[in-house]
Structures are given as structure tokens and as C-alpha cells.
Structure 1
């Protein structure tokens, strides 16, 4: 006669399936995270912004006026309006010479937000790694 041994019950939890699910979720989040964070990274201006350091290089200032015209302070004629392609070309050339130069966007208060965003997209396509926003200091009450 065959004697069957009694098995002891195992009281451990098998966590292998949970680890598999967690790794799949990790891969999904790693793939989708860059897709979710599209757009231009900016820190919105606060009431009192810190000025650029005095020892830094003079910044390249890309401006958009109330009519939506673009200007660049380091262009041949800073007072002459530029189209998007000209602005991007000038910025890209300048960045090739001086890759560490700070870039600042100066937008008129009356210009549509869309125009400022379009300017920032042009700068991003020209190779600008980060953009600062120029503000006026608020008047003290």
C-alpha cells in the first residue's frame, strides 16, 4: 500500500505575478511619459522675478509686438520686423557661435498668447535649449 505523506501548507505569498505586472506598467509609463509632456517648458513669471546675473553674457532677446511682428536684438537691424524663418535662422547661427548665450522672450502685454507660444516654438526649433520670459517689475503699492 502506498503511504501518502502529508504536505505542509505553504504560507508565503507568491509575488512574482505582481512583479511582472509592475514591470509592464513601468515600461508603459516610461514610453508614454515623453509623449505627455509635449510643448515648451517655461516657468511662468511671478510677481517679483529675479534678474539675470550681472556676470552673465548679454541675452539674446526675441520680441513679439502687439501686432505679432517678431524682432531680434542681435539682428543686423533690431528695429526691423522679421518673419519666423529669418528669426530662426539668425538664432541658430548665433547659437552655433555661442551655445551658452541666454535667450529671453519679450512679449507685449496686449499680444495674443498664441503669438508668444509660436515665437517660443520657433526658438525651440532653432535649437534653443531653454527660454526665459522677460517681465516688468510690478509697481509697489
Structure 2
């Protein structure tokens, strides 16, 4: 019995016991990879509908409060609420359902393609305005100097 205790002590003594330090190098490596992934994918999360926005010299607006709903108009005349294609007939009911409790106080942003029919964009804005939505804005792209 004494032999087994001695050999156990001897083994522990030679190895030096358990190490209490945590190696943080792999943790830092993983965090840096995640940071790079998020930095690359963040600009792609704006909207899934490809729109060529018109350019303007207007200053960028500050966004406050609740997240606005985005309505996109493509050059082919298709209308999207977020990433879901809708028709002009279902525009108001779709916006009302998406606005929820905010109702007509919901902020709405319209992304009209530069090649889209101006009349269609104005029809969307007019329908929303007649339905009582007053917080409607147009999204443009900053003009390069």
C-alpha cells in the first residue's frame, strides 16, 4: 500500500501538478475571426432587393426610435415590403400589418431604383399618404465628390 502512495506522489511531483492558467490565444483567434465575419456581412444586411439608388448631395439623416419599414420599387415595376414582394392592391394592408401598434406613426422609407418609373414611386407615396402615413422618406445614395 505504501508503494502505491509513494508512486502516486512521485508522479505528481515530477509533473508539477495541474496548471491553473487558461490559454486565451485560441479565444482571441476565434473572436478576431468572428469580428471579421461580422464586418464583412454587416453592409450586406440592408435589404435583399437589389436597387440602384439615385444619387444626391443631401446630408445623411440620423435614425432614431423604432426601425422603419422599407418599401422598394424596382425598374420592372415590382414593389417589395422588406424582402417580400407585394402588389399595389395589397400595399396598404401589408404595411398596416407590418406596422403593428405604431399604426400610421410608423416611419416608412421608400427605396426607388433610379431607372424605376417615377409615376409608380409617386403612386406608392400617394397611397401611403392618403392612408394617413405622414412619416415617409426617400432613400438615396450619397453622391461621390
Give the TM-score normalised by the residue count of structure 1. Answer: 0.56
Structure with greater proportional helix content: 2
Alignment partner of 1:120 is 2:136: no
Gaps of 5+ in 2: 1-54
Describe the SS at the equivalent of 1:81: strand
What's the counterpart of residue 93 of structure 1? Answer: 97
- For the 8 Å contact 1:62–1:71, the answer to whether it is kept is yes
- For the 8 Å contact 2:57–2:142, the answer to whether it is kept is yes
What's the counterpart of residue 50 of structure 1? Answer: 60
Structure with greater proportional strand content: 2
The alignment yields a C-alpha RMSD, in angstroms, of 2.0
Gaps of 5+ in 1: 1-44
How many residue pairs match? The answer is 90
CA distance in 1, matches of 2:134, 2:142: 25
- For the 8 Å contact 1:66–1:110, the answer to whether it is kept is yes
1:31-56 CA-to-partner distances (Å, cap 9, x unmatched) read xxxxxxxxxxxxxx851232232x42
CA distance in 2, matches of 1:63, 1:132: 12
Give the TM-score normalised by the residue count of structure 2. Answer: 0.54
